[in-house]
Amino acid sequence: MSRGRLITLEGGDGAGKTTQAGWIRDLIRAQGVLLVETREPGGTPLAETIREWVLSPTAEEPDGLAELLLVFAARRQHWVRRIEPALESGIWVLCDRFIDSTYAYQGGGRGLPLAWIATLEHWVLGPGGRPDLTLYFDTPVDQALERVRQRGHLNRMEREGPDWHEQVRSAYRSRWEADPERFIRIEGGRPPDEVRAILEAALTHRFATWQSQASIRPEEPSG
């Protein structure tokens, strides 16, 4: 049985990924695969508790490194209990935020050294943790923050100012520029129906490529 695929949704707060998530899930399922939908931080009961600690505004602000370690503690639990077992049994995983969020928010936003994040990534995920595909919603910060303000109930990241969110955006763009094959980048500031049309075409093309690669893969030698 072939390993499942890990597809991640990424982008700044208010970038528009949640609006599109429903049909993306349906399009993946239409490939005839089993799919688990999940999110980070979170995805298991313990990791969801850690999510609360990371995102809820509280009297005691976590120190930046403490925040990074909490995010990775949640990720480790999610990875070993949920994502990795699914992938190994051939199930696909659609994860709302994953490792690129940490490079963007704790690296870009909080200014923590990227080398620390890379070390933790290696410990926590090992070599199999690179997503097969990342849909990156790249949205101008002023537009994205306006959407966030309209939603209300701001989490600890969403309460940060525009300059902080520009740093998050620029860290995301560096991730995309360093590994463009893995990403489909969408201009999230466009109207939602345009975003959908562009993304649907790109995804359909990517799935067709994967299918043709799978069908030309040489047979395992028997016996």
* Shortest spacing between CB 89 and ligand TYD, in angstroms: 24
* Shortest spacing between CB 102 and ligand TYD, in angstroms: 4
Q: What is the contact surface with ligand TYD in residues (CB under 6 A)?
A: 13, 18, 40-41, 55, 71, 96-97, 101-102, 105-106, 155, 157-158
In sign, the C-alpha dihedral spanning 215, 36, 177, 197 is positive
- Using DSSP, state whether 127 is helix, strand or coil: helix
**C-alpha atoms less than 13 angstroms from C-alpha of 25 in its C-beta half-sphere:** 14
In sign, the C-alpha dihedral spanning 192, 203, 170, 61 is positive
Ranges of H-type helices in 56-161: 64-78, 84-88, 99-102, 114-125, 141-151
Closer residue to ligand TYD (CB): 106 or 185: 106
| Alpha carbon distance 160, 156 (integer Å) | 7
* Shortest spacing between CB 126 and ligand TYD, in angstroms: 17
Closer residue to ligand TYD (CB): 151 or 205: 151
* Shortest spacing between CB 195 and ligand TYD, in angstroms: 16
Closer residue to ligand TYD (CB): 158 or 184: 158
| Alpha carbon distance 159, 166 (integer Å) | 13
Closer residue to ligand TYD (CB): 97 or 175: 97
* Shortest spacing between CB 189 and ligand TYD, in angstroms: 17
